[in-house]
Amino acid sequence: MSQSVAIVTGASQGIGRATAIRLARDFSGLVLVARNRAHLEETAKAVGAAGAEALVHDADLSQAEAAQAVVDKALARFGRIDALLNIAGAVPQIDLFEMTDAQWEGGLALKLHGARRLTIAAWPALKAAKGSVVLMSGNSALFPKAPYAAVGTINAAIVALAKAFSDRGITDGVQVNSVLPGPVMTGRRRSYLQHWAPLHDMTVEEATAKFPKEAGIARYGEPEEIAELMAFLVSPGARWMTGSTLRMDGGEVKSV
């Protein structure tokens, strides 16, 4: 394993946790960022068991000062940053006509501006390492609908932001891509199904089976499957891929 360091945000659960554990096979050091320190410590144990050194940093990336603190801590510990995977950012699924300004601003502050600020803060180190950046978006960027307008709008903005960073990265030697997962069975989705099912006179099992069928897919994805794509994008084999938006969705998007 070469001496290389990756920052993974949202590393306390779901796709972020799975990505951190997967990257432990390829990177010697991982900086794990999220708000829940106890869950981050659990991820750190798994990262250590997989062979990498983990640095835990609990931070709220919706706060303007958090990004530079993450980068400073990473450089103080490891001296370099080779990859940044911006995965943090849950956006409420609330109808377009019901979502408040505060809820819009909260989603934008964490997922969009958190990723923007952290990428800018890490850019000098990434430029020095000729490193890689991945920004997590989602399939809703391609078909925003009223019941989850903020998710689609913010995810579309993430794709545009990644494109802008990739344009600068051509000059600076930094590779930037975005990923659009389809429906993935995370802890957050399980909690949603447990809440949604009784409201619609369904069992959790019935609700779990309902959504993939409505999406036209065979099953939910698993966080570990998205993690494999993330690992590929920051690997030497994907080096010429930049400015790309990659879907991994089980065939949910039917358009060409």
The answer to whether position 164 is within a domain reads yes
Predicted local distance difference test score (pLDDT) of residue 255: 87
Domain count, the chain: 2
**CB contact at 8 A, 84 and 120:** no
Task: With a cut of 80, say whether residue 1 has pLDDT above it.
Answer: no
- CA dist 34 and 56 (Å) reads 9
Tokens of 229: 């794509």
Q: In the predicted model, is pLDDT for residue 196 greater than 90?
A: no
Does the pLDDT value for residue 68 go beyond 90?
yes
24 lies in the same domain as 110: yes
Residues 156 and 198 in one domain: no
Rounded-to-integer distance, Cα 27 and Cα 80, Å = 12
Taking 80 as the threshold, does the pLDDT of residue 15 lie above it?
A: yes
Full-model pTM: 0.95
Q: Has residue 42 been placed in a domain?
A: yes
The full length of the chain comes to 256
* Least reliable range by pLDDT among 36-40, 57-61, 77-81, 251-255: 251-255
Q: Does residue 81 lie in a domain region?
A: yes
Q: What CATH number did the domain enclosing 121 receive?
A: 3.40.50.720
Q: What is the DSSP secondary structure assignment for residue 147, as one 8-state letter? A: G
Q: Which residue has the tokens 């709008």?
A: 153
Shared-domain flag, residues 71 and 55? yes
* pLDDT at res. 188: 86
What pLDDT is recorded for position 93? Answer: 80
Q: What is the pLDDT of residue 90?
A: 80
Q: How far is 11 from 45, CA to CA, in rounded Å?
A: 12
> Does the residue 254 lie in any domain?
no
Average pLDDT on 190-204 reads: 91
Q: At a CB cut-off of 8 Å and minimum separation 6, what does 192 contact?
A: 93
CA distances from 101 to 7, 94, 108, 151, 157 (A): 30, 12, 11, 14, 17
Q: Please answer whether residues 41 and 47 qualify as being in contact, where contact means their C-beta atoms are separated by less than 8 angstroms.
A: no
Q: Is the pLDDT assigned to residue 136 strictly greater than 90?
A: yes
Residue with tokens 């993690």, as numbered in its chain: 227
Residue 91: the pLDDT is 82
Share of the chain above pLDDT 90, in %: 87
- Sheet with 132-136, edge to edge strand ranges: 53-58, 29-34, 5-9, 83-86, 132-136, 175-181, 245-248
- Both 214 and 229 in a single domain? no
> Does residue 2 register a pLDDT over 90?
no
Same domain, 148 and 196: no
Domain that holds residue 50: 5-184+222-248
Residues 53 and 70 in one domain: yes
